Amino acid sequence: MQRVSPVQPCGHHSLFDRSPSRSDARPRRSLQLQRWDPVWCIPAWQWRLSASLLALGSFNKLAACRPNFRAARRATAEKAFDVAERFVSRFNDYFVLWLVLVTLVSVARPETFTWVNQEWFTWLLGLLMFSVGLTTSVDDFRSSIRNWPAVVINAAACFLLMPALAYTLAALISADAPTLAGLVLIGSINGGHTSNLCTLIAKGDVALSVLMTMSTTLLCIVATPLLAKLLLGTVVSVDAVGIILSTVKVVLAPTVLGLAFKQWLPSTSERAAKLTPVLGVFATCIIVGSSVASCRPYILSAGAPLQLAILGLHLLGGPLDAPGWICTIT
Protein backbone atom coordinates (compact mmCIF):
# COMPACT_ATOMS: atom_id res chain seq x y z
CA MET A 1 0.00 0.00 0.00
CA GLN A 2 1.03 3.53 -0.74
CA ARG A 3 1.72 5.61 2.27
CA VAL A 4 -0.15 8.95 2.33
CA SER A 5 1.67 11.80 3.93
CA PRO A 6 -0.35 14.26 6.06
CA VAL A 7 -1.51 17.45 4.42
CA GLN A 8 0.64 20.36 5.28
CA PRO A 9 -1.16 23.46 6.39
CA CYS A 10 -1.25 26.21 3.83
CA GLY A 11 -1.19 29.94 4.37
CA HIS A 12 -4.93 30.25 4.00
CA HIS A 13 -7.32 29.87 6.89
CA SER A 14 -10.00 27.35 6.94
CA LEU A 15 -13.58 28.44 7.02
CA PHE A 16 -13.93 26.72 10.36
CA ASP A 17 -10.94 28.49 11.92
CA ARG A 18 -12.35 31.40 14.00
CA SER A 19 -9.11 32.72 15.40
CA PRO A 20 -7.56 35.01 12.85
CA SER A 21 -3.86 35.42 12.76
CA ARG A 22 -2.04 38.56 13.72
CA SER A 23 -1.36 39.41 10.15
CA ASP A 24 -5.10 39.48 9.45
CA ALA A 25 -6.07 41.36 12.63
CA ARG A 26 -3.78 44.26 11.96
CA PRO A 27 -5.41 45.41 8.77
CA ARG A 28 -8.81 45.38 10.46
CA ARG A 29 -7.54 47.45 13.34
CA SER A 30 -5.82 49.80 11.00
CA LEU A 31 -8.99 50.16 8.96
CA GLN A 32 -10.91 50.90 12.15
CA LEU A 33 -8.43 53.56 13.10
CA GLN A 34 -8.53 55.04 9.66
CA ARG A 35 -12.31 55.27 9.91
CA TRP A 36 -12.25 57.40 13.11
CA ASP A 37 -9.02 59.26 12.64
CA PRO A 38 -10.55 62.30 10.88
CA VAL A 39 -12.79 62.97 13.91
CA TRP A 40 -10.49 62.23 16.79
CA CYS A 41 -7.67 64.15 15.26
CA ILE A 42 -9.58 67.49 15.48
CA PRO A 43 -7.91 69.63 18.15
CA ALA A 44 -9.89 70.65 21.22
CA TRP A 45 -9.67 74.36 20.43
CA GLN A 46 -11.50 73.77 17.15
CA TRP A 47 -14.27 72.00 19.04
CA ARG A 48 -14.61 74.95 21.41
CA LEU A 49 -14.57 77.42 18.53
CA SER A 50 -17.30 75.52 16.67
CA ALA A 51 -19.46 75.30 19.80
CA SER A 52 -18.97 79.01 20.44
CA LEU A 53 -19.94 79.90 16.88
CA LEU A 54 -23.04 77.72 17.08
CA ALA A 55 -24.04 79.28 20.39
CA LEU A 56 -23.45 82.78 19.02
CA GLY A 57 -25.58 82.03 15.99
CA SER A 58 -28.40 80.69 18.15
CA PHE A 59 -28.20 83.75 20.40
CA ASN A 60 -28.38 86.07 17.40
CA LYS A 61 -31.43 84.23 16.14
CA LEU A 62 -33.13 84.49 19.54
CA ALA A 63 -32.24 88.16 19.76
CA ALA A 64 -33.72 88.72 16.32
CA CYS A 65 -36.91 86.89 17.32
CA ARG A 66 -37.33 88.73 20.64
CA PRO A 67 -39.27 91.68 19.14
CA ASN A 68 -41.59 89.20 17.48
CA PHE A 69 -42.16 87.47 20.83
CA ARG A 70 -42.94 90.79 22.48
CA ALA A 71 -45.33 91.80 19.72
CA ALA A 72 -47.12 88.45 19.88
CA ARG A 73 -47.38 88.64 23.66
CA ARG A 74 -48.70 92.21 23.46
CA ALA A 75 -51.25 91.21 20.84
CA THR A 76 -52.40 88.29 23.00
CA ALA A 77 -52.77 90.56 26.04
CA GLU A 78 -54.75 93.10 24.03
CA LYS A 79 -57.05 90.39 22.71
CA ALA A 80 -57.64 89.02 26.22
CA PHE A 81 -58.36 92.53 27.52
CA ASP A 82 -60.86 93.15 24.72
CA VAL A 83 -62.65 89.90 25.54
CA ALA A 84 -62.79 90.83 29.25
CA GLU A 85 -64.04 94.32 28.42
CA ARG A 86 -66.87 92.97 26.26
CA PHE A 87 -67.82 90.48 28.96
CA VAL A 88 -67.88 93.16 31.67
CA SER A 89 -69.92 95.50 29.48
CA ARG A 90 -72.45 92.79 28.71
CA PHE A 91 -72.57 91.71 32.37
CA ASN A 92 -73.20 95.29 33.54
CA ASP A 93 -76.02 95.74 31.04
CA TYR A 94 -78.03 93.14 32.98
CA PHE A 95 -77.51 94.89 36.31
CA VAL A 96 -81.24 95.05 37.06
CA LEU A 97 -81.62 91.35 36.31
CA TRP A 98 -78.82 90.48 38.75
CA LEU A 99 -80.50 92.57 41.45
CA VAL A 100 -83.81 90.78 40.91
CA LEU A 101 -82.14 87.37 41.04
CA VAL A 102 -80.22 88.29 44.19
CA THR A 103 -83.43 89.49 45.83
CA LEU A 104 -85.25 86.26 45.00
CA VAL A 105 -82.37 84.14 46.25
CA SER A 106 -82.09 86.11 49.50
CA VAL A 107 -85.81 85.61 50.15
CA ALA A 108 -85.81 81.91 49.25
CA ARG A 109 -82.41 81.10 50.79
CA PRO A 110 -81.50 83.84 53.28
CA GLU A 111 -78.48 81.89 54.52
CA THR A 112 -76.85 82.68 51.18
CA PHE A 113 -76.26 86.29 52.28
CA THR A 114 -76.57 86.26 56.07
CA TRP A 115 -72.80 85.72 56.36
CA VAL A 116 -72.21 89.28 55.16
CA ASN A 117 -71.22 91.57 58.00
CA GLN A 118 -73.10 94.87 58.14
CA GLU A 119 -69.84 96.67 58.82
CA TRP A 120 -68.68 95.72 55.34
CA PHE A 121 -71.25 98.01 53.76
CA THR A 122 -69.05 101.06 54.15
CA TRP A 123 -66.16 99.37 52.39
CA LEU A 124 -68.40 97.96 49.65
CA LEU A 125 -69.95 101.37 49.01
CA GLY A 126 -66.48 102.89 49.04
CA LEU A 127 -65.40 100.37 46.42
CA LEU A 128 -68.42 101.33 44.35
CA MET A 129 -67.58 105.03 44.54
CA PHE A 130 -63.90 104.36 43.79
CA SER A 131 -64.92 102.67 40.55
CA VAL A 132 -67.06 105.71 39.80
CA GLY A 133 -64.21 108.10 40.57
CA LEU A 134 -61.93 106.38 38.06
CA THR A 135 -64.24 107.42 35.23
CA THR A 136 -64.42 111.12 36.14
CA SER A 137 -62.02 114.04 36.27
CA VAL A 138 -61.76 117.41 37.96
CA ASP A 139 -62.93 119.11 34.78
CA ASP A 140 -66.06 116.96 34.81
CA PHE A 141 -66.94 118.19 38.29
CA ARG A 142 -66.24 121.79 37.29
CA SER A 143 -68.64 121.53 34.36
CA SER A 144 -71.20 119.76 36.56
CA ILE A 145 -71.10 122.54 39.13
CA ARG A 146 -72.07 124.97 36.38
CA ASN A 147 -75.12 122.77 35.76
CA TRP A 148 -76.54 123.66 39.16
CA PRO A 149 -80.20 123.78 37.97
CA ALA A 150 -80.07 120.00 37.50
CA VAL A 151 -78.89 119.60 41.10
CA VAL A 152 -81.76 121.78 42.31
CA ILE A 153 -84.31 119.81 40.26
CA ASN A 154 -83.02 116.54 41.70
CA ALA A 155 -83.21 117.86 45.26
CA ALA A 156 -86.76 119.08 44.71
CA ALA A 157 -87.82 115.72 43.31
CA CYS A 158 -86.14 113.92 46.20
CA PHE A 159 -87.64 115.97 49.04
CA LEU A 160 -90.93 117.17 47.52
CA LEU A 161 -92.25 114.67 45.00
CA MET A 162 -91.11 111.48 46.72
CA PRO A 163 -92.55 112.34 50.19
CA ALA A 164 -95.83 113.38 48.57
CA LEU A 165 -95.96 110.11 46.62
CA ALA A 166 -95.21 108.09 49.76
CA TYR A 167 -97.95 109.87 51.71
CA THR A 168 -100.43 109.30 48.87
CA LEU A 169 -99.68 105.58 48.65
CA ALA A 170 -100.00 105.23 52.43
CA ALA A 171 -103.41 106.89 52.27
CA LEU A 172 -104.52 104.59 49.45
CA ILE A 173 -103.84 101.46 51.49
CA SER A 174 -105.28 103.05 54.66
CA ALA A 175 -102.01 102.48 56.47
CA ASP A 176 -101.83 102.73 60.23
CA ALA A 177 -99.59 105.24 61.97
CA PRO A 178 -96.39 103.13 62.06
CA THR A 179 -96.77 102.11 58.41
CA LEU A 180 -97.47 105.70 57.40
CA ALA A 181 -94.38 106.89 59.24
CA GLY A 182 -92.24 104.23 57.60
CA LEU A 183 -93.42 105.05 54.09
CA VAL A 184 -92.97 108.78 54.57
CA LEU A 185 -89.46 108.32 55.94
CA ILE A 186 -88.55 106.08 53.00
CA GLY A 187 -89.76 108.79 50.65
CA SER A 188 -87.93 111.54 52.53
CA ILE A 189 -84.39 110.18 52.49
CA ASN A 190 -81.56 111.14 50.19
CA GLY A 191 -80.59 109.57 46.90
CA GLY A 192 -78.74 106.26 46.97
CA HIS A 193 -75.22 105.55 45.84
CA THR A 194 -76.46 102.96 43.37
CA SER A 195 -77.70 105.81 41.19
CA ASN A 196 -74.08 106.71 40.49
CA LEU A 197 -73.36 103.18 39.30
CA CYS A 198 -76.48 103.18 37.13
CA THR A 199 -75.38 106.48 35.59
CA LEU A 200 -71.95 105.00 34.92
CA ILE A 201 -73.40 101.92 33.23
CA ALA A 202 -75.75 104.12 31.18
CA LYS A 203 -72.75 106.27 30.16
CA GLY A 204 -74.30 109.40 31.64
CA ASP A 205 -72.82 112.37 33.46
CA VAL A 206 -71.23 110.56 36.40
CA ALA A 207 -69.81 113.71 37.99
CA LEU A 208 -73.25 115.33 38.00
CA SER A 209 -74.75 112.19 39.54
CA VAL A 210 -72.15 112.25 42.32
CA LEU A 211 -72.93 115.91 43.02
CA MET A 212 -76.64 115.08 43.20
CA THR A 213 -76.00 112.26 45.65
CA MET A 214 -73.77 114.39 47.87
CA SER A 215 -76.17 117.34 47.82
CA THR A 216 -79.21 115.27 48.81
CA THR A 217 -77.20 113.40 51.45
CA LEU A 218 -76.15 116.63 53.14
CA LEU A 219 -79.56 118.23 52.62
CA CYS A 220 -81.36 115.35 54.34
CA ILE A 221 -79.85 116.51 57.65
CA VAL A 222 -82.38 119.35 57.58
CA ALA A 223 -85.00 118.14 55.11
CA THR A 224 -85.85 114.76 56.65
CA PRO A 225 -86.69 116.06 60.18
CA LEU A 226 -88.62 118.95 58.64
CA LEU A 227 -90.71 116.65 56.44
CA ALA A 228 -91.37 114.31 59.35
CA LYS A 229 -92.63 117.25 61.38
CA LEU A 230 -94.87 118.52 58.58
CA LEU A 231 -96.31 115.17 57.42
CA LEU A 232 -96.27 113.12 60.61
CA GLY A 233 -96.46 115.78 63.29
CA THR A 234 -93.46 114.31 65.08
CA VAL A 235 -89.80 115.08 65.30
CA VAL A 236 -87.31 112.59 63.93
CA SER A 237 -83.82 112.90 65.30
CA VAL A 238 -81.04 112.80 62.72
CA ASP A 239 -77.39 112.21 63.50
CA ALA A 240 -75.94 115.11 61.54
CA VAL A 241 -72.33 114.36 62.47
CA GLY A 242 -72.75 110.70 61.56
CA ILE A 243 -74.26 111.59 58.17
CA ILE A 244 -71.43 113.99 57.40
CA LEU A 245 -68.78 111.45 58.38
CA SER A 246 -70.53 108.76 56.37
CA THR A 247 -70.64 111.06 53.34
CA VAL A 248 -66.93 111.72 53.65
CA LYS A 249 -66.04 108.04 54.05
CA VAL A 250 -68.44 106.56 51.54
CA VAL A 251 -68.70 109.23 48.83
CA LEU A 252 -66.06 111.93 49.05
CA ALA A 253 -62.92 110.00 50.01
CA PRO A 254 -63.29 107.10 47.52
CA THR A 255 -64.18 109.51 44.72
CA VAL A 256 -61.17 111.71 45.44
CA LEU A 257 -58.97 108.62 45.62
CA GLY A 258 -60.24 107.52 42.21
CA LEU A 259 -59.58 111.00 40.80
CA ALA A 260 -56.03 110.99 42.22
CA PHE A 261 -55.36 107.53 40.82
CA LYS A 262 -56.51 108.71 37.41
CA GLN A 263 -54.34 111.82 37.68
CA TRP A 264 -51.16 109.95 38.66
CA LEU A 265 -51.58 106.88 36.45
CA PRO A 266 -53.74 107.97 33.52
CA SER A 267 -53.03 105.05 31.19
CA THR A 268 -53.52 102.42 33.90
CA SER A 269 -56.66 104.05 35.25
CA GLU A 270 -58.10 104.36 31.76
CA ARG A 271 -57.81 100.62 31.25
CA ALA A 272 -58.94 99.83 34.79
CA ALA A 273 -61.98 102.09 34.45
CA LYS A 274 -63.34 99.76 31.77
CA LEU A 275 -63.32 96.81 34.16
CA THR A 276 -63.95 98.31 37.62
CA PRO A 277 -67.72 98.92 37.18
CA VAL A 278 -68.24 95.19 37.60
CA LEU A 279 -66.83 95.58 41.13
CA GLY A 280 -69.57 98.08 41.86
CA VAL A 281 -72.16 95.67 40.48
CA PHE A 282 -70.92 92.88 42.74
CA ALA A 283 -70.77 95.21 45.76
CA THR A 284 -74.33 96.41 45.17
CA CYS A 285 -75.63 92.86 44.75
CA ILE A 286 -73.99 91.81 48.02
CA ILE A 287 -75.45 94.80 49.88
CA VAL A 288 -78.95 94.22 48.50
CA GLY A 289 -78.81 90.49 49.17
CA SER A 290 -77.65 90.98 52.75
CA SER A 291 -80.25 93.67 53.46
CA VAL A 292 -83.13 91.61 52.07
CA ALA A 293 -81.97 88.45 53.86
CA SER A 294 -81.83 90.24 57.21
CA CYS A 295 -85.33 91.72 56.71
CA ARG A 296 -86.90 88.60 55.20
CA PRO A 297 -89.33 87.90 58.10
CA TYR A 298 -90.66 91.47 58.01
CA ILE A 299 -90.99 91.46 54.22
CA LEU A 300 -93.01 88.24 54.19
CA SER A 301 -95.22 89.28 57.09
CA ALA A 302 -95.88 92.80 55.81
CA GLY A 303 -98.84 91.80 53.68
CA ALA A 304 -99.73 92.48 50.07
CA PRO A 305 -100.97 96.11 50.53
CA LEU A 306 -97.74 97.32 52.08
CA GLN A 307 -95.62 95.35 49.65
CA LEU A 308 -97.48 96.84 46.69
CA ALA A 309 -97.18 100.32 48.17
CA ILE A 310 -93.41 100.03 48.54
CA LEU A 311 -93.14 98.58 45.04
CA GLY A 312 -95.22 101.43 43.66
CA LEU A 313 -93.07 103.98 45.48
CA HIS A 314 -89.98 102.77 43.66
CA LEU A 315 -91.62 102.20 40.29
CA LEU A 316 -93.44 105.55 40.23
CA GLY A 317 -90.62 107.48 41.83
CA GLY A 318 -88.41 107.05 38.78
CA PRO A 319 -90.79 108.69 36.28
CA LEU A 320 -91.51 111.49 38.75
CA ASP A 321 -87.79 112.20 38.93
CA ALA A 322 -87.52 112.15 35.13
CA PRO A 323 -86.13 115.71 34.89
CA GLY A 324 -83.27 114.76 37.20
CA TRP A 325 -82.15 111.62 35.43
CA ILE A 326 -82.68 113.21 32.01
CA CYS A 327 -80.14 115.84 33.06
CA THR A 328 -77.62 113.16 34.02
CA ILE A 329 -78.08 111.18 30.81
CA THR A 330 -77.92 114.18 28.52
Domain ranges of the chain: 43-84, 94-329
Instruction: Kindly tell me the burial class for residue 202, based on how many C-beta atoms sit within 10 Å of its own C-beta (0-12, 13-18, 19 or more).
Output: middle
Low-confidence ranges of the chain (pLDDT < 50): 1-2, 4-9, 11-40, 53
The DSSP line for 188-228 is TSPPPTHHHHHHHHTT--HHHHHHHHHHHHHHHHHHHHHHH
| CB half-sphere exposure, 254, CA atoms < 13 A | 23
**What's the rounded Cα separation, in Å, for the pair 259 and 131?**
10
| CA 160 vs CA 163, 223, 308: distances in Å | 6, 10, 21
**What's the rounded Cα separation, in Å, for the pair 159 and 219?**
9
Which candidate, 190, 154, 189, 186, places its Cα nearest to that of 310? 186
CATH level 2 (architecture), domain 94-329: Up-down Bundle (1.20)
pTM of this prediction exceeds 0.75: no
**What's the rounded Cα separation, in Å, for the pair 175 and 16?**
125
**What's the rounded Cα separation, in Å, for the pair 253 and 241?**
16
**What's the rounded Cα separation, in Å, for the pair 245 and 92?**
30
The confidence score (pLDDT) of residue 217 equals 85
The confidence score (pLDDT) of residue 103 equals 92
pLDDT tens column, 227-270: 888 887 776 776 777 777 888 888 888 888 888 888 888 877 77
Instruction: Tell me the average pLDDT of the chain.
Output: 76
Contacts of 169 (CB under 8 A, 6+ apart): 183, 309, 312, 313
pLDDT tens column, 111-132: 888 888 877 888 888 888 888 8
